Amino acid sequence: MNYCGRFAPSPSGPLHFGSLIAAMGSYLDAKKNHGNWLIRIEDIDPPREVAGAADKIIDTLDRFGFEWDEPVLYQSTRYTAYQDALHELQKEKLLYQCICSRSDIQAHGLQGVEGAKYPGTCRKRGFDNSTYAPQRSALRIVTGDQPISFVDGLRGTICQNIAQDIGDFILKRADGLFAYQLAVVIDDAYQGITDVVRGADLLTSTPRQIYLQ
Ligand SMILES: [Zn+2]
């Protein structure tokens, strides 16, 4: 498969230095591998977005001399694809409605790798179209109790058991917005991304994204 890399910032402000490093890393890795390099604006969280930030980020990348091989993809144009993916998972009975609040989850006292772990309270609810209220319930995916591992170019082999370390995670939030984990996987597939170079803060997200793939 031909190498295809990407840089996928959220337009929550101007491009900061850490993101510029990530962009540079993915760009150089794509060039070294004679691959393509794409930009995707992850604008699926309007409350956190700053007006004009997406244009500023693209302008900054342009002024630093980055060149991208396809038109910029905006996640705000991709809602139908995300919804279709949720339908597929719903058909497979892998989605369920969750009405737990943050404090409900914390009250269980289960610790995961990213703070309080979801205890699976609502699993038994399943998904029921007649009672599903997108503005009141989140949608979570049923996770498997098996290790998922991958090899990171810098950190080596990373292994995580999602059920034990994270718990069933959210694909659509109770405020009606699609979750980052879902959108990133759908769009990496859609754009044919083969290699991801990004900040180490996303290392613990990778097993969830592999699981969704
Ligand atoms: Zn719940």
Same domain, residue pair 100 and 186 = yes
Distance 101 CA to ligand 1 centre (A): 7
* 104-121 pLDDT per residue, tens: 888 888 888 888 899 999
Last residue of a domain, one of 21, 54, 77: 77
Distance 120 CA to ligand 1 centre (A): 6
Last residue of a domain, one of 28, 48, 77: 77
Average pLDDT over residues 129-146: 87
Per-residue pLDDT at 195: 97
| pLDDT band, very low/low/confident/very high, at 133 (cuts 50, 70, 90) | confident
| pLDDT band, very low/low/confident/very high, at 162 (cuts 50, 70, 90) | very high
Same domain, residue pair 158 and 97 = yes
Sign of the dihedral defined by the CA atoms of residues 11, 12, 16, 19, in that order: negative
Distance 54 CA to ligand 1 centre (A): 34
Distance 123 CA to ligand 1 centre (A): 7
* 79-97 pLDDT per residue, tens: 999 999 999 999 999 999 9
Average pLDDT over residues 21-36: 97
Per-residue pLDDT at 111: 87
By residue range, what is the domain housing residue 7?
Answer: 1-77
Same domain, residue pair 130 and 57 = no
Last residue of a domain, one of 38, 62, 77: 77
Distance 150 CA to ligand 1 centre (A): 29
Residue 158 has pLDDT above 90, yes or no: yes
Distance 122 CA to ligand 1 centre (A): 4
For 114-150, give the DSSP string.
TEEPP--TTGGG---TTT--TTT-EEEE---SSEEEE
- Report how many domains make up the chain: 2
Question: CATH number of the domain that 192 lies in?
Answer: 3.40.50.620
